Structures are given as C-alpha cells and as structure tokens.
Amino acid sequence: MNKITVKDGTEIYYKDWGSGQPLFFHHGWPLSADDWDAQMMFFLERGYRVIAHDRRGHGRSTQTVNGNDMDTYAADVAELAKALNLKNTVHIGHSTGGGEVTRYVAKHGKGRVAKAVLISAIPPQLLKSDKKSRRPSHGGVRPTS
C-alpha cells in the first residue's frame, strides 16, 4: 500500500498509476481516493499519470483529531507532490477537495501546477470584508456588498 508520512506523523495513503502528465484528484467530504477510480482509469488509458490520495481523517490515511483544516490539507498535498516529484500537474478537486486544491495552489503550487479544476467546489475563505459580520458556514467566498 502506498503511503507517505508527513511532518506531524500522519500517514497519507495515495494511488499513483501510469506515466505522462500528472492529474491529481482531490476527493470531497467524506469520500476517499476510491471515488475517483472511474475517472482515473479513463485518463490512465489516455496516457496520463493519475494520482489520488485519502485526505487525513479519510479512508486509509491516519484518522486524526488535529489538522483537519485547509492549511494542513494543502501542506499534506505539498509533501505528497514533493515526494512524487510532481511538476506540470493538473489538480482536480470536488467539493472539499476543491478547497484543498485552491489552498494548495495558492500556498505551495509555484512551479508545480499547470492547471486547477474545481468541480462543485467549496473554496476556503477568499475575501474578508468588514461589511459582513457573519462568515459563511461552508467556508466559501463572502460577498463584497
């Protein structure tokens, strides 16, 4: 079973199949890498390298009490991308995975990311405004007016 151990000792499970330009799939809550298998097989047959991981607290990765936030999720992806020497990667995120992609690209993706695809994504807070005192419960974009 493919796993890496990140800085805080959490084990992150991942699938890494094929060769060619890497496509990295990020699952939604409370799913796992397995939920991307059909898409991974489709792109694998077309010459891509396909990667998916079980986010900490999901699937075969360590069940954690701490680190269940977008910054830690993105840092975990950064460690995995570095370990797999991923460059020119397309990151594809669904739901919470879209938030993970957004944070990863913004904080860690320089020189490694070709594109980001967000599918029904819940991105992390992108804009702060004093006009709105209530933060959206889903962590999405806050309106400016």
pLDDT digits (tens, 9 = 90+) for 78-114: 999 999 999 999 999 999 999 999 999 999 999 999 9
Instruction: Give the pLDDT score at 33.
Output: 98
> Read out DSSP for 14-83?
EEEE--SSEEEEE--TT--GGGGHHHHHHHHTTT-EEEEE--TTSTTS---SS--SHHHHHHHHHHHHHH
- Give the pLDDT band of residue 128 (cuts 50, 70, 90): low
Confidence at residue 133, expressed as pLDDT on a 0 to 100 scale: 46
On the question of pLDDT at 142 being above 50, the answer is no
- The confidence score (pLDDT) of residue 58 equals 97
Model pTM score: 0.85
Residues 6+ apart with CB under 8 A from 77: 24, 26, 53, 100, 104, 108
As a whole number of angstroms, the distance between CA 25 and CA 30 comes to 15
The pLDDT confidence band at residue 1, using thresholds 50, 70 and 90, is confident
What span, in angstroms and rounded, lies between the C-alpha atoms of 106 and 74? 9
d(CA 145, CA 138): 19
Q: Residue 31 is encoded by which pair of tokens?
A: 């799913």
**Would the pLDDT of 49 be above 80?**
yes
Note the pLDDT of residue 122. Answer: 82
What percent of the chain has pLDDT above 70?
85
Residue 108 parent element (H or E): helix 96-108
| pLDDT computed for residue 6 by the predictor | 98
Residues 21-35: pLDDT tens digits?
A: 999 999 999 999 999
d(CA 87, CA 72) in angstroms, rounded, equals: 21
Nearest alpha-carbon partner for 7 in 60, 58, 79:
79
